[in-house]
Amino acid sequence: MLSFLGKRLLLFIPTLLGVSLIVFLMLQMVPGDPVNTIVPADATEEERMLVTKELGLDKPIAMQFIYWLGQMLQGDMGHSIVKRLPVADLLLPAVWNTVVLAAASAIFSFGLGIFIGVYSAYRPKSWIASVCNALGLAGIGMPNFWVSLILIGIFSVSLGWFPSSGMYSVGRVDLPDLLNHLILPTIAASLTSLGVMTRMVRSTIAGLLQQDFVFALKAKGARSRTILRHVLKNGMPTILTVAGLQFGYLIGGSVLVETVFAWPGIGQLIYQAIGQRDFPIVQSGVLVVAVTFVVINLIVDAMHAVLDPRVRHS
Amino acid sequence: MASNIQHLTEATIGKDRVKEPSRARELWQAFCKRKMALAALIVLMVILIGCLAAPWTAPYDPYEGAVKDRLLPIGTPGHLLGTDEQGRDLLSRILYGGRLSLLSGFAPVLLAVLIGGGLGIAAGYFGRLVNMVIMRSLDIVYSFPAILLAIGISASLGPGISNVIISATVVFIPPIARIAETAVKEVRKEEYIEAAISSGASHSLVIRFHIFKNIFNRLFVYSTTQIGICLMLASGLSFLGLGVAPPTPEWGFMLNNLKQVIFIDPIVTIVPGVFIFITSLAMNLVSDALSDVLDAKG
């Protein structure tokens, strides 16, 4: 067990290094001299040199990377060019808001996905099984930003049931108001996960129902609830692994949903920063989400090993 | 004697060949048995041809609108799919816009097959250090959520449809390389590879004739499953304004424009989204059928 986790942790460090290298290289790809965004247009050559030196841009690129990495590790993500604030101060609340939305989507899509999946594995001919099929297809083929627009059109504009944007109404910071704002973005963000989960749960459970231990239980006269408990216990490692990965996708993939609903999360922050060409925010935002994604994958691996002895011994 | 043999060949072997249906024909017939997939293929072809032939199929100029015709609903006589916020005919914009949207759905997957497929074959065939370097590097790209990586690269390169294609290509290289690598590893163990190598065949010969032909089906089927996903990813990037510049029509960017009038006409965004949805759904159905027919699970 420990050696398994040790191996994973050992892989974790180069992965993080690689991820930060890619994010660093992204900024290098930006066309034009970064100095131009800082100095006024009529600056002399000497002033430009001074700024270049101050930013460390005269150093070799490898040195620049190491310096940047050191700063990041100390929690110094630089300053927003447009908002003139430390990037970290802008990112932290946004990360929290994104996690709120991702958690809501996870609860919604995992709960409903497991229910529909298990039910349609038991009754493959029921209407819920057809719903499962439709969800699988729709969830994978529908762009979530379009679903967001349709939901806003129907439930906010036409029916007026839910607010169309933001996280709280002006002057209110309470739970009912938050839930009211959460419903539409949650549905839009979780559609893909819901499709993946229902399909995967159904095929896992349907496969388990064919196994000998189920027949043995039936022959013993076990109640269907007991059988379900045994089947679920066997299917859990697989289901939890996929669920964990989906949670990662929910955090990273809700950029577009956040943009449509003006949800004050990291996706919207990145989107605004792209428009304003505020690259320190884009860079740190992408880095924070990617690192979160890697950490979640690590936790999923560890969880899988705890639940399923076959994994840690292979 | 020689003429005798020739006579024999023509009479017997030649006749047999006429009777036996070709492999392509067999596959096509197996595909046609799947009604859903056939319907999906027809829908896909109609959309594809309609968009490619947009100058002939589109009823109006996609750039010119009439102010008095703004936001006409679907089914208005003369404007089958209605008009947009500037009074431009939506059907015409869909047909013209489909060219860029479909291009940004297909091109990245094709490029990723060339690059990722090549890397995967190299990794799987040569193994050891080559494998480790290639696959571990690609794993790092894998550890980003796809959409976020594409947004990051696109934002750095600046807006433009070619940059959308580049960033989407980067996203699709690792999964395609992984599929190619796994497939090659399986084929690599076969005895005929060993026989070919020991009989003095060069690596490039073995890869071209034995490896590539054996993994082609799996690689092909898997790439077709990625096209629908790529179409959605690329339209998402365009939706964020990272793709085309106005007034060029493109499905994702049309949604961005129509978003601004959602409070005037709540379901105005339905048309471009339905086209993205139908295209990627049809693509998925076709690739499901292909994987059954070619017996190649991705």
Cβ(A202)–Cβ(A300) below 8 Å: no
Chain B nearest CA to A295, separation (Å): 10
Q: How far apart are CA B231 and CA B239, in angstroms?
A: 12
Both tokens of A48, joined, read 């430009």
Both tokens of B86, joined, read 């500037």
* Residue A12 sits at the chain B interface (C-beta within 8 Å): no
Whether B240 maps to a domain, the answer reads yes
Query: For residue B85, which of B72, B64, B70, B73 has the smallest C-alpha distance?
Result: B70
Whether B75 maps to a domain, the answer reads no
Q: How far apart are CA A266 and CA A100, in angstroms?
A: 11
Q: What is the 3-state secondary structure (H, E, C) of B65-98?
A: CCHHHCCCCCCECCECCCECCCCCEHHHHHHHHH
CB pairs under 8 A between A and B: 143
Whether B63 maps to a domain, the answer reads no
Check CB contact under 8 Å for B277 and A27: no
- Residues B76, B82, B88, CA angle at the centre, nearest 5°? 125
* Residue A163 sits at the chain B interface (C-beta within 8 Å): no
Residue B93 Cα distances to A101, A181, A252, B69, angstroms? 35, 34, 31, 15
Whether B8 maps to a domain, the answer reads no
How many domains does the structure of chain B reveal? Answer: 1
Per-residue pLDDT of chain B (298 residues; tens, 9 = 90+): 455 555 555 555 555 555 566 788 888 888 888 888 899 999 999 999 999 988 888 888 888 877 777 777 877 787 778 787 787 888 888 899 899 999 999 999 999 999 999 999 999 988 889 998 998 888 888 888 888 889 888 888 888 899 999 999 999 999 999 999 989 988 888 888 888 888 888 888 888 888 888 888 889 988 988 998 899 999 999 988 888 888 888 998 888 888 888 887 888 888 888 899 999 989 988 988 888 888 765 4
Whether B198 maps to a domain, the answer reads yes
Domain that holds residue B262: 29-57+87-296
Residues ≥6 apart with Cβ < 8 Å to A63? A56
Instruction: Please report, for the domain that includes residue B120, its CATH number.
Output: 1.10.3720.10
Whether B126 maps to a domain, the answer reads yes
Whether B2 maps to a domain, the answer reads no
* Residue A88 sits at the chain B interface (C-beta within 8 Å): no
Residue A165 Cα distances to A261, A263, A268, B262, angstroms? 4, 7, 12, 13
Check CB contact under 8 Å for A297 and B152: no
Whether B4 maps to a domain, the answer reads no
Backbone angles phi, psi at B89, to 5 degrees: -65, 125
State the complex-level ipTM: 0.82
* Residue A274 sits at the chain B interface (C-beta within 8 Å): yes
Q: Which amino acid, residue A145? A: F
* Residue A260 sits at the chain B interface (C-beta within 8 Å): yes
Nearest to A289 among B145, B155, B255 (CB): B145
Residue B176 Cα distances to B122, B171, B173, B286, angstroms? 13, 10, 5, 19
* Residue A299 sits at the chain B interface (C-beta within 8 Å): no
Over its C-alpha atoms, chain B yields an Rg (Å, rounded) of 24
pTM: 0.84
Check CB contact under 8 Å for A275 and B156: no
